[in-house]
Amino acid sequence: MEDVKSPNKIKREVQIYFQTADRLIKWSDIKHLDLDDDDIIHSTWEDDEDGGSFFGQITRMVEETDEQFQKRQSDLERQAKWAKEQRLKSYLRLKEEFEGL
């Protein structure tokens, strides 16, 4: 599980293969891929309005890029600033409400 509040780079799940078909994934579908030991293979049946189909995907955990890291850090700073402003507003409302007691 990724720790999105980490001050360091984190690993993110990335889809490296996707298939929707009327059959399960076969080796011939994926033998061209350079798979790692820790890759996760999902293959399941999904019902839909047309009756359904098999859904398959392969995901891999990869370290986030410098750009993703910088964006995540900026988002965290913006969220922390917003939360602090909300707490201040709440404090001031409560202070005004209970000041005369």
Q: Which has the higher per-residue pLDDT, 75 or 1?
A: 75
pLDDT greater than 80 at residue 70: yes
pLDDT tens-digit series, residues 3-54: 788 889 999 999 999 999 888 888 999 999 999 999 999 999 988 887 889 9
CA distance 30 to 38: 15
Are 31 and 16 a contacting pair, CB within 8 Å?
Answer: no
CA distance 24 to 30: 12
Residue corresponding to tokens 């404090």: 91
Half-sphere exposure of 10 toward its Cβ, with a 13 Å CA cutoff?
16
- Is this model's pTM higher than 0.75 or not? no
pLDDT at 1: 52
pLDDT at 25: 86
